[in-house]
Chains A and B, each alone.
Chain A
Amino acid sequence: MQLSTVFFTAALLGYVLDLGLFLLSIGLSRPPLRTQRWVLYAAFILHTMSLLASSLHAGQCPLFTMQGSLSLMAWLTILICVLLGLRFRLNALEGLAPILVIILMVASAFAVHRVALPLNLPEKAWISFHAALYFAAYSAFAVMFLASCLYLLLENQLKRRHLTVFTGDLGSLALMDKINYVALGIGVLCLTVGIATGIGILKEVHGTWFSSMGSDPKMAAALFTWVLYMALLFARSTNRLRGRKVAFVSMAGFAVVFVTFLGIHHLDKVL
């Protein structure tokens, strides 16, 4: 068994344990244990080591395989959630993040290991930059998804007038909305630059600006995601969408993006 696989499995178990402890504290109506946070940090360190080990083993950053990219996306999501949790004392964000991360990591574990990088491409650094921007954008959308979950949970508690010990860890509606908005802005920005660099790379490969875009399913999926989130950004900034509607659209949007992402990779593999 490779060292990266050992670290990966240990990190996954750590996230599962962390989530279990968080759900247990909710079940017992107790504030989350301090141990839970340390378990999360330990799992995150193991996850980092897994990515480093796999990068060293493959001789390239983990952006060019389905396995690596999903794992990297999970890692980025946890990193952002931990930073936001520390900044705003949002235990619930740190507590719920492992749900999404576990899904991403399990998907990563079952993904086919295959080097997707065409070896004849000259601009490897540009491809890395392009792919990194994509995953930064997807991680930002994942954070939006989590913030939306928390928004809806808190809104539900406030509407039902039933506050629990857990309510204190949910932050506030305005804060969740702000996190959602900032993550949306960052995500759209990264995706826009990512698509622009992608078009540039396709130009290098095919010699024309747009004719090859339709033949690349990943590019088509990225454009679809971009249109979706740009529409959301427009609706938000013009106050056409607010509160729970934004939360629902963010969650649905991420689900669509996630399914499309997996589907396109599967299609790519079949083709």
Chain B
Amino acid sequence: MQIFVAGMNHNTAPLALRERFSFSGMSMDQALESLRKNPTFYESLVLSTCNRTEIYGVSEISSDYPQWVTETLTKQKGVPASEFGHCLYAWSGPDAVEHLFRVVCGLDSMVLGESEVLGQVKKAYEKASAAKNAGKILHRLFQQSFHVGKSVRSSYAGGCAEVSVSSVAVELAKKIFNVLEDCRVMIVGAGETGEQTLKHLLGGGVRSIVASNRSYERACEMARTYGGEAATLEDALGKMLNVDIVISSTAAPHVLFTKDQIAQLMLARGGRPMFFIDIAVPRDVDARVNELENVFLYNIDDLKQICEEKTQQRELYVAQSRTWIAKEMEKFFAWFAALGVAPTIQRLSDRWEQVRYTELEKSIKKLGQLSEDQKGEIDYLTKRIVSQILHMPKEQLKRFANRKDGYYYTETLSDLFKLTAESQEPPQE
């Protein structure tokens, strides 16, 4: 048996194509029903999110599974294979399992480490379970994947999102003001990073801005672009009275805002907190401003330093996820390999049980008059002996199943005891 996955995601297919293969509600039920009725798929599951559409399945070992999935998708969505075939990826065995584990850890997501995907995979699994598409193997596989996803996130939750100077600035602003909806931002100057930071802040919820520039026309232009108020550089300090966040990125060769000026401003503001993001080189804001109460000043080096720390955390997240994935894959395949020897173990048990039963019957006949208790005791004794004898070979067989040469042990055992499915005749005396 093999586990496989085939589908498309945000890396291989454009949104226009991905949305044509979205499964939800009725279409999901129909797809699961169609897969369940298909004898090729022993087990199946459809994962459909905004970033991916994937079909996980269990089948006999075959390299035709991409074809089966393509046919299923074509049948369900009526899109010819020629239109999406080139966007499909397909993996089987360890690659498929690793892919699933990467998906639940958020390593395959647009935003690294995002946790939403874990919930989406859980929902897909619940649907497949309810529709009886998922069986023993997918049940185990997905339960283990949830364990991986949760463990990785609970151990290394900090800082796995994309990191940039702008995103760090937004994060810091949220640490000070909690929500940015009520914050007013002033952008002083027109540097590229400054504008980028402003965009991030607007994305973070900021609604009100003031654009200040040496050239009033440029300030008006920015105010028009981002929907705010314009001010000259000379008016900037006065306008700060009602501003919470200041992004400064001018090309001025000297400090624009001194400690004394900001101290005066803070008095006039009644001590309301202010956050200065000084990304100008040379700096626009006096470094001593940070000493003032309720004023937080970060320059470009401070932001880059935090970026570096976060990047390290991000790399750590990826590395640790890989370690978890490798460990859990090993566990899963140990179980999966043991599943492969299960029929042999069952046949071995059946054979010995047959022998035990036949010999027990003969002995009881020879022994003559025995009470029911005595018969029961002998029955229990023989069962215990058989169970004890078989315990070690069974355990060893499961253990060896996960080795490369595990197949030979299974074969040898089958040969020695004639354990093929066809040769279940009673043993000769």
Contacts and interface: CB of A to CB of B under 8 A. Distances in A.
B178 A175 contact: yes
Interface of B: 154-159, 172, 174-179, 270-273, 290, 293-294, 296, 298, 302, 305-306, 309, 313
Contacts of B176: 158, 172-174
Contact of A171 (B159, B178, B293): B178
A159 B154 CA distance: 28
B148 to A, nearest CB: 15
Nearest to B172: A158
A154 B271 CA distance: 18
Contact of A168 (B154, B158, B172, B296): B158
B296 A31 contact: no
Contacts, number: 62
A80 to B, nearest CB: 19
Interface of A: 30-31, 33-34, 154, 158-159, 161, 163, 165, 167-168, 170-175, 178, 239, 242-245
Contact of B305 (A161, A175, A243): A161
Contacts of A239: 270-271
Contacts of B294: 242-244
A173 B172 CA distance: 11
Contacts of A159: 290, 296
Nearest to A167: B175
24 contacts: A31-B157, A31-B158, A34-B154, A154-B175, A158-B172, A158-B175, A158-B176, A158-B296, A159-B296, A161-B298, A165-B158, A168-B157, A168-B158, A170-B175, A171-B178, A173-B177, A173-B273, A174-B177, A174-B273, A242-B271, A242-B293, A242-B294, A243-B271, A245-B293
B176 to A, nearest CB: 5
Contact of B174 (A34, A161, A172, A244): A172
Nearest to A174: B178
A159 B291 CA distance: 8
**Residue of B157, B158, B270, B271 with most partner-chain A CB within 10 A:** B158
A161 B306 contact: yes
Contacts of B172: 158
Chain A interface main SS type:
helix
A82 B2 CA distance: 47
Contact of B270 (A34, A172, A242, A245): A242
A172 B177 contact: yes
A33 B159 CA distance: 17
B293 A243 contact: yes
A165 B175 CA distance: 13
Contacts of A172: 174-178
Contacts of B158: 31, 165, 168
Contacts of B270: 239, 242
Contacts of B290: 159
Given A158-B172, A173-B178, A242-B272, 5 more contacts: A161-B298, A161-B305, A163-B306, A171-B178, A174-B176
A175 B179 CA distance: 9
Nearest to A88: B178
Contacts of A154: 175
A165 B310 CA distance: 10
B302 to A, nearest CB: 5
A243 B157 contact: no
Contacts of A178: 178
B387 to A, nearest CB: 38
A250 B218 CA distance: 47
Nearest to B295: A159
A30 B273 contact: no
A170 B270 CA distance: 25
Contact of A33 (B154, B175, B273, B309): B154
A30 B155 contact: yes
Ranked nearest first, the 3 interchain pairs of A and B with the lowest CB-CB distance are A174-B178, A172-B178, A242-B271
A150 to B, nearest CB: 12
Nearest to A35: B154
Contacts of A170: 175
Contacts of A175: 178
A89 to B, nearest CB: 12
A168 B155 CA distance: 14
Nearest to B176: A173
A103 B40 CA distance: 66
Contact of B273 (A34, A163, A171, A243): A243
Contacts of B156: 30-31
Chain B CB within 10 Å — which of A163, A178, A239 has the most? A163
A17 B120 CA distance: 35
Contacts of A163: 306, 309
A242 B306 CA distance: 27
A244 B271 CA distance: 11
Q: Which of A161, A171, A178 has the most CB of B within 10 A?
A: A161
Contacts of B155: 30-31
Nearest to A176: B178
A251 B158 CA distance: 30
A173 B175 CA distance: 6
A239 B273 CA distance: 12
A54 B108 CA distance: 55
